[in-house]
Amino acid sequence: MKITELFEEMGKYIFIFIKKYWFYLSLFFVIIMFFVNSIASIVSISVFAVGLIIYYLITSNLKYKLLRYMKEYDLIEDIQISEDLTIPLKIVREAMKSIAKRQKRKDWLIAVINNRCVFYNSIFITKFRDLYNEGLNEKSIFNVITETYSIRSRAEIKAIEDILINENKIDERDFSVIKLLTFESKL
């Protein structure tokens, strides 16, 4: 390995470390500055606080903007949002994943399926929940929903079902009862 490649690899690791732990490094730097020069530490704390506030306002504004935009659609993917709002796809995906972490008590749903994020509004989720509670299986739900919505695959239906079960929005089915009902219907 050449020395330049070694420096490049070391630089990547240092950049990843700083990117991951920048907040703690900043606090450590401020504490050390406090012991060296308290006035300089007060100035650096105020600059640090203003930077955090600006960062928070920018990121929270993007999330609210995305939510307002997504709620206008029954179903929308991250690629379409990125194109419509002219925001880089990576930023849209990160924001949608961040929003998805706090969706437990919401009536809409964001699903991360095969490294793409899809938003489903409350009307879609209510229809899905009704079909699921009627006892329809994934294939039947897929067939009914594709008549009105542009769902790509049954894997999407399975992902929605798993998320709703994990968030206690629907009850998990007892498969032994389903197999028994299926067996009796064949007789």
CA dihedral (9, 23, 105, 155) in degrees, to 10, reads: 0
Q: Single out the residue of 154, 164, 156 nearest to residue 132, CA to CA.
A: 164
More confident site: 18 or 140:
140
Pairing of strands 109-113, 116-120: antiparallel
Q: Is 135 exposed, middle or buried (0-12, 13-18, 19+ CB in 10 A)?
A: exposed
pLDDT digits (tens, 9 = 90+) for 29-76: 888 888 888 788 788 888 888 887 887 777 667 888 888 899 899 899
What are the distances in angstroms from CA 42 to CA 30, 81, 83? Answer: 8, 42, 43
* Cβ atoms < 10 Å from Cβ of 117: 23
The answer to whether 110 and 100 have CB atoms below 8 angstroms apart is yes
The answer to whether 128 and 160 have CB atoms below 8 angstroms apart is yes
89-106: average pLDDT:
87
High-pLDDT (> 70) share of the chain, %: 90
φ, ψ dihedrals at 118, nearest 5°: -130, 135
Q: What is the model's pLDDT at position 170?
A: 80
Q: For residue 109, list its beta bridge partners.
A: 120
Residue with tokens 């969706």: 103
Instruction: Please determine, for residue 180, whether its predicted confidence score (pLDDT) is greater than 50.
Output: no
Q: Where along the chain do its domains lie?
A: 3-60, 71-178
* Long-range contact set of residues 131-138: C-beta below 8 Å, sequence gap at least 24: 132/161, 132/164, 132/170, 133/170, 135/178, 135/181, 137/178
What predicted TM-score, i.e. pTM, was given to this entire model? 0.63
